[in-house]
Structure 1
Amino acid sequence: MGPVDQLRVGLVGGGPWARTVHGPALAAHPAAEITAVWTRRPEVADELAADLGARAHTRFVDLLEDVDVVAFAVPPQVQGELAVRAAAAGRHLICEKPLAGSVEDARAVVAAVQQAGVHSSMVLTLRHAPAVRDWLAALPSVPAGPGTVATARWLSGALLGGPYSTSAWRIENGALLDVGPHVIDMLEAAVGPVASVGWAHHDQPDLWRFGLVHEGGAQSTVTMSMRLPIDPTETEFAVFGRGVSHRLAGRVADARTCYASLLDELVAAVTGSGPAPELGVERGLRLQELVEQVRAAAV
């Protein structure tokens, strides 16, 4: 598509994340306009569209006719199917993690995006946070080797109560599928691509612990849960070795600010003023493959 003043965006989904992050961030961005909303429940679409000044559609195919970009805030098994259809229609994508309900379905999304030649962005909010970018930039530029270890901790009570505690896919899969992509993405950015999953343990309550071996020889360990009585969420990423002791702890990302940065990149790519987003659906597939490797290794 050629240069435009504003990208027409269709929002798919009407849950808490759509209402508190996608919708407000899209509405506030100067180069985006929410023109359409679709959800599986028409009354929810009507309410959200009224709040956002958009048009509610009763069919997904009609939303596709009304937009340049589709932003998804739906369960992964729904996103995987609809993202393929949106890409085939020539629409650019903003996708949540995990990308789809299975690795096979995630590969289908990537294939559809590549075949259509459209752009895509994964909502990996942490990677768009200024504090995270500064933290990563401060790490040594040389590849991490065997003398480097990294750790990640993400502990919360998000599934014990609150807006996401009734989400069926989160209840079924817990921290591994919801938080896991963020954590693994950060560790790969910090100490290099994962070569293998060294070990993994899954215990109650939703407690995941696993170790990763990275291509340069660095090793990392992860501890995470979404069913511990902890509020607010405890997070920390750290890298030790290479002459550094480098920590990033606490809340470092405001979701709407991060989403605005994501939109800046996508708008630049679509309008031809910047490169393709680095964190597109190919990245989403990579992370989903690694998450499934952890699941397969768990004892």
Structure 2
Amino acid sequence: MDEALRVGVVGAGPWAHRVHAPGLHAHPGTRLTAVWARRSDAAKSLAGEHGAEVADSFEELLDSVDAVAFAVPPSVQAELAPRAARAGKHLVLEKPLAADRAGAEEIVEAVTGSGVAALMMLTRRFAPEVQDWLAGLRELGGVQGGTGRWLAGGLLAGDYAASAWRQEDDGALIDAGPHAIDLLDAALGAIEEVHFAHRGDDGLWQLVFGHEGGATSTLTLSLRMPVQPSLVDFAVYGEHGCVPLAGRRTAAHECYARLLDDLLSMASGERADHPCDVHRGLHLQRVLADVLNAR
């Protein structure tokens, strides 16, 4: 693209401060143009750090940008993202796509109908070590199953201890679940069935999935586990043994820069599709719904 893509950030919470705003400001192909949040003081603080304008309304933000990066709860994203897509704005979308399947379907319909580029913030999928792992599994073949653990204490203290939607009973599943489910799904084939789903009183989830082609996987998930550092690991096994997801864990800001590279390619027409587009978000939303129904 000849000029930097003008991007507005919606939301001014921890993730907007830590990743979205600095990432957009630093990337040579994007320009952080405006910030809008329902708390005007938070929007002013975030915009001031990066030389952006503060929009007085969502409509004003849409009028000043080419793309919108969302850093808001799922229900808010489901309300605003279709409006942005129908206004012709490219999208960076948080996971999960919406609060329910109907909301996710509306976003997909708006994106598809408008032809804008839209990518999900499935951060680890943009990490080179994850992409190499997935590529190696496709070449390996003979995969029969896999396992994942995502155990962290993010809801006990720190930035997200006051996040209302994350503190709900299913908050860990809705927040970290899409990341973990996405990795197992990408490694083993599309999840077609939830064989077992249990959430303990302490917020510990135990899940068993059935995948396209017959593979099975297990996932243990909690954001209320007092472990330091967080325990996040994945492995796939089969006729060739066990293949863990190894190597360094690429920092979120580096993954975000790679996401923006791909968004720019899609926005310019150089790339038509992407494994982390809105259709991926809808698939993950369906799996989340199946987990909640199976619990």
TM-score if structure 2 supplies the norm length?
A: 0.96
Q: 1:115-168 deviations in whole A, cap 9, x for unaligned?
A: 1111100000010011111111221436656xx120000001110001011111
Q: Distance in 2 between matches of 1:276 and 1:49?
A: 31
Bigger mean CA deviation after superposition, 123-132 or 243-252: 243-252
Is residue 38–residue 63 contact of structure 1 (8 Å, CA) maintained in 2?
yes
Q: Which amino acid letter does the alignment assign opposite residue 153 of structure 1?
A: R
Choose from 128, 133, 155 the match for 1:159.
155
Measure how far apart 1:65 and its partner are. 0.5
Residue 291, structure 1, aligned to residue 288, structure 2: yes
Q: Distance in 2 between matches of 1:62 and 1:31?
A: 23
Is residue 191–residue 212 contact of structure 2 (8 Å, CA) maintained in 1?
yes
Is residue 174–residue 225 contact of structure 1 (8 Å, CA) maintained in 2?
no
What residue is the counterpart of 2:167 in the other structure?
171
| Partner SS state of residue 253, structure 1 | coil
Q: Distance in 1 between matches of 2:247 and 2:2?
A: 39
Q: Identity, % of aligned pairs?
A: 49
Change (3 A) 1:40 1:181: same
What residue is the counterpart of 2:20 in the other structure?
22
Choose from 205, 217, 221 the match for 1:220.
217
Is residue 10–residue 36 contact of structure 1 (8 Å, CA) maintained in 2?
yes
Q: Which amino acid letter does the alignment assign opposite residue 149 of structure 1?
A: G
| Partner SS state of residue 155, structure 2 | coil
What residue is the counterpart of 1:203 in the other structure?
200
Q: Distance in 1 between matches of 2:250 and 2:289?
A: 26
Give the gaps of 5 or more residues in structure 1: none
Bigger mean CA deviation after superposition, 47-56 or 242-251: 242-251
| Partner SS state of residue 30, structure 1 | coil
Q: Distance in 2 between matches of 1:250 and 1:156?
A: 19
Q: 1:198-246 deviations in whole A, cap 9, x for unaligned?
A: 1111102110001001111111000010011112110110011131310
What residue is the counterpart of 1:274 in the other structure?
271
Change (3 A) 1:144 1:214: farther
| Partner SS state of residue 195, structure 2 | strand
Change (3 A) 1:232 1:249: farther
Q: 1:248-296 deviations in whole A, cap 9, x for unaligned?
A: 2586231100000100000011112233333111111110110110111
Q: Which amino acid letter does the alignment assign opposite residue 165 of structure 1?
A: A
For 1:1-299, what aligned pairs fall within 5 Å after superposition? 3-141=1-139, 148-172=144-168, 173-248=170-245, 252-298=249-295
| Partner SS state of residue 138, structure 1 | helix
Give the gaps of 5 or more residues in structure 2: none
Q: Distance in 2 between matches of 1:131 and 1:238?
A: 13
Number of aligned residues:
294
Q: 1:163-197 deviations in whole A, cap 9, x for unaligned?
A: 01111111012221111111111011111111211
Q: Distance in 2 between matches of 1:250 and 1:223?
A: 21
Q: Distance in 2 between matches of 1:242 and 1:56?
A: 56
Q: Which amino acid letter does the alignment assign opposite residue 239 of structure 2?
A: R
Q: Which amino acid letter does the alignment assign opposite residue 199 of structure 1?
A: F
Is residue 129–residue 247 contact of structure 2 (8 Å, CA) maintained in 1?
no
| Partner SS state of residue 33, structure 1 | strand
Is residue 156–residue 227 contact of structure 1 (8 Å, CA) maintained in 2?
yes
TM-score if structure 1 supplies the norm length?
A: 0.95
Change (3 A) 1:199 1:7: same
| Partner SS state of residue 202, structure 2 | coil
| Partner SS state of residue 166, structure 2 | helix
